[in-house]
Structure 1
Amino acid sequence: MFCQLQNILERFLQHNLILTDAGTEVWFSGTSSPSATELRLNDTGNLFLTDGEGGVLWQSFDLPTDTLLPQQPLTRNKVLISARSRNNYLTGFYKLYFGNDNVLRLLFDGTSISGVYWPYPWISSNELDRFLYNSSRIVVLDPLGHFQSSDNYSFSTSDYGAARQRRMTLDFDGNLRVYSRERGSAVWAVTWEALSSIPCFIHGVCGNNSLCSYDPAKGRSCSCVPGYVPKVLGDWSAGCVPNFTFFDGCVANEVGFVKLLYVDFWGYDYNTILNTTLKKCWETCLNLCDCRGFQYKVSDNMATFNCYPKIELLNGHNLPSFNGEFFMKIPKNNTFTVDQLVKRSQYTCPPTPEVKVLDKTYSKKRKNGPLNFMLWFACVVGGIEMVGVVLPYQEPRFTYDELKKATRNFSKEIGRGVGGIVYKAVLPDDRVVAVKVLSIAATGEADFLAEASTIGRVNHINLIGMWGYCAEGNHRLLVYEFMERGSLAQNLSSPELHWKRRFDIAVGTAKGLAYLHEECLEWVLHCNKYHILLDSDYQPKVADFGLSKLMDRGKVRNSTFSRIGGTRGYMAPDWVSNLPITSKVDVYSYGIVMLEMVTGISPTTSVDSLESGGDAKKIQLVPWARNKKTGFHLEEMMHLALRGDYNLK
């Protein structure tokens, strides 16, 4: 005891900062100074030890654990490390760090495996606009809520600019979040998070052979794949183990497969077999001893199918939008029932009436060879045609009560226009959607269903997807995919909309409009900045195409048509000049939107402009832009928010 006290006293006299737990030294700063020292806590939250001359011997900002405070830098050799669990503050499995390519990344570093999951590993750093050649490696969150990284990644919190206490924490669940708190309040609110749209993609959440599911009200949950049981009760990170025995995974006649729908296991592929058949994929996994299953899905170009045999079932999650199938390897002599294999808690269907098989037999007649062939051929051709007609349109029909519940009684409005009001909703299968309530319901139900079916069959990466509808009484509602960033109008002044993103939005919007004009000539859209929606990566999608027909606008004159759906400033002169309405009016409106993106000037209002003479006067966007172009003064048109970051050509 005397020796321990003597050791502590010596370190204190050397101007060390010492932390003890129940009399036991658990940490010391490792500093020494010949002169007097002082311990200070400044307004930024930095605790630092100084020598007698004002030099810093040690500071807490140099040793982050799971949290960064505003103005606290995370640099080249520093790492944020999560806690083990909510109440266990031992070192966890998740890290925020700079990789060797200078990109800021989130890493799952488990006991046996590790892997980067943010940025998404299937997207290259260049595609995400990450800058690879800045080796300074530094990130800072400022007091107002703006985050900037040396790899060109940045964001602003949802309460950006407000006077708040803030912190960025790598939580035990692997998600990086910014929390804000009003002074005097005890509540920390999440104002930004790295993975908000697919939180189940965080690696290691549920361990091997398990599935992650997400409920916005309850959060994430884990479950074992069919035929498996938890390895350690209460610890899902340990994963699941089979409730059966594989005697030999290499003997083809001793194993089989069971198909799981809406399930994706990311990574740990034995290899990738491109442009192959389901039979070939099946045989490949069947003959591999360590293959635990395989994924068979359509390629990105929607033209072929690819095979992904898995040596580990990791990063599993339920994904309703998954456009493939997963086949899990099982022994044929299993001891579990078929019900245990196919039982799904996440996607249950309402009970259906019992189907009774009629006990009828028909006498066999002598077969006519040529006639039998012709009948068979006709059936095949007819079946192919039916597949072509039926498969593209699979949008469900919702009841009004279902959508009222999904929108929480239409409580969260996310958009409004002459066509109706849009609400955010969460479907029973956890899909986040946008529900548009049409403002008028003059259209008959049969006409509405016919037009909704037509819209539902339109499929293009730059057109908003329709997932369902409601036609009940006087209610007419459409269910669309949810776009995280909202409309272009909501983002025009955002610092996140730099030149490259504006350019990509321009090209993507043009592609969507071109598809409508070339493939769907009868559709004309009042294109404006409110009809262009942005997903989480700021990729554009055109919305509200075909809405005029759903609202029975085809029976009214052009003047009424424009009054109902047009937006002042974006409408082509054709609307007010009683000229024939063609797709060219969309091209005019598109051009107005592009001018607004470049200049920051809205066509719906006049804007003060300081001319060379110094006098302020009112200008109109189109004549003003035309004069600038004619006079070769394009530089004067550029939005000040771009700060010179644009391509003049």
Structure 2
Amino acid sequence: MDISIFFLLLMLIQTPLLSSSPKTFDVLRGSSLSVEDPSDKLVSLNGDFSAGFFPVGENAFCFAIWLTRSSAPTVVWMANRDDPVDGTGSQLSLSKDGKLRLTNSAGITVWATRTAASTPLESSKLQLQLQNTGNLVLNHSESGVIWQSFDSPTDTLLPQQTLTRISTLVSKSSEVDCSSGYYKLFFDNDNVLRLLYQGPVVSSLYWPDPELSDPGLAGRSMYNSSRAAVLNESGYFWSSDHLVIQATDFGVKTHRRLTIDRDAVSDPCTIHGICGPNSFCSYDHASGRRCSCLQGFKMKDPPDWSFGCEAEFNIPCNQSHGKLSSFVQLSHFHFYGYDLEFLPNVTLQHCENECLTTCSCKGFQFVFKADYGGYLCYPKYKLYNGQLTPNFEGDLYLRVPKAAELSRQVRGTYENKTLKLLLWFTTAVGGLEVTCIFLVLFSLFMSSKNSDPVAEGYLLMSRFKRFKFSELKKGTRGFVEVIGRGGGGVVYKGILPDKRVAAIERLDEANQGEAEFLTEVNTIGRLNHMNLIDMLGYCVEGKHRLLLYENMEHGSLADKLTSNELDWEKFDIAVGTAKGLAYLHEECLEWVLHCDVKPHNILLDSNYQPKVADFGLSKLLNRGERDHSNFSKMRGTRGYMAPEWVYNRPITSKVDVYSYGIVVLEMVTGKSPTGTQHSPGGGGAKEYNRLDSLVREKIMMHADGEASRESWNIEEIVDPSMGGRYDSAKMELLLKVAWQCVAEDKDDRPTMTQVVEMLCCDEVN
């Protein structure tokens, strides 16, 4: 495998030591390093590494570790890369609570380690030292390592430093900007090492090749649980997902590092987000990579291509929008992802018509695939990850206004009066045609109003397989094996005709079955995320409404909580669930509120990875009403419902955040959100209508206000059935995040995206 696929192994040539003599090797309690004294730094015993304040701009400094034996100092770690301090009065100090603290000139802490000790530490037994490996270590002579920089890397991995399931490499923003960029190397929930583009608007995985649905096709394995990767001094890189890479000069003794760099690939145009939306990347060895806007678009935020391009035209979204559009063929243009649907074996005309019927369709990709024996159609609602490459045997048909086509033919502009008149005439004729078509369709509808519109409408669905009721009745042996209950009916275990095991939800006829059916099918048809349940098919026949889902080997989270089978898995389940909900709220085609987040609707696969299920109560939001949605009735389950439902306040995505917080509290404490609980302090039984009340009471016994939360006795809050089999730091992090999620005021709650960031980032700091 080419080593330049996803990172840069930079072999640094040894040169004379560039740094000055060290002021000290150890920093004891109460000591500090000052930004004002360039010699105030730590140097490793071998002289290879230095740690101190590193300039990142005019009067801007970060506390960093850099390799000194190189032609220029090479930074390998930074503490405050996203929050530099100024050059006067800033310092790194070892505080009395055993933490390293970085403060700016105003005395405000901009970065600190998570090293608070439960008992006071003697200052004479603490020391901070920069090791020969480049690892900055805070040691206690009796307790050992309290904190080390190797546990929280930035963009670089050094030899003997392990990348784990709780650490991530994040690229720099640019060659001259050391702040966090858009590219991440991390272990995903499927145990595979991946590269993620997380840009200002969207995010997407792009390595291993996302078009290979099975990581095994890329030589990777999901069947491991260690999630570890390491580089050694000889140039050998190994990952637990079976990725092995060897440097071309393997065995040569030299300084090495592994750095994630957005340009360190053999073909930079394969990197997602490199040119932003509505643009495309082209590359040749002579001129290198180049970003360009699509026809009819202009650059949005020069010179930053991360924000891509914006349209200089507008296609109105009304009944005549299809008549006002045409397509421009762009050969060998490939735009990955964001497909409205996948249409196999269709004609070009059929693909055009599919795009024209949807306002949000920006164009479509038309590709011949021999494996399918015909052309594949990919209508696009977003134009991301574009590249122009001769190797791609397909075309992009970009949707533009017809007026733009006429404008190019007569070499005029929209300001041309003649063209304006022609555009007005075309619009008027198109509107008349649409009116006539509408009248004909209305007439046909009135003549067939006694037919079943739901059944007939879903005959046209091609994304999912339609099953006969007799097939499902046979596969479930008459619906006898109940495996759960959804928002609209009972879920049974069944065997499909192709021998697959499926979870089959039979919607209650008396419980708005038709409405539930329409909601779930339309919602799930727009979703695609590893932490959301996959839909396999549906059945609509007479009064029968059934939904078919993938079967989850370990059932629901509710089952596992009652059986006390979960220990360390709880943290990963919380992270995965948060990712699934964040996708619903922020990333899918239409914003979705789940409205019934609870353990019964969080299912676990064979690796205990969570998938959010049951969208029977969900609510689709238009872009303009994300924070002002209206509901005709209360939705959800008692104990998990946010206060907004009770007090008739505006319903937003924060109701799901609240429910998620209750679920996390339930996982941490082992207690149900409703029912009788024993009050702390032996005060007898007490009725708690909300789990957060119980946790709040326990916390207030050990803390006097927000600033004292570190004095929480986590052992009195965590589920006693876990028997100490948990990481106290992770449990504390879960508790603090959940505590924010269940805030009474929705504006005080984080978004689900912020929850993911807190769980995935804060745990390593």
Calculate the TM-score normalised by the size of structure 2.
0.39
Higher alpha-carbon Rg = 1
Calculate the TM-score normalised by the size of structure 1.
0.46
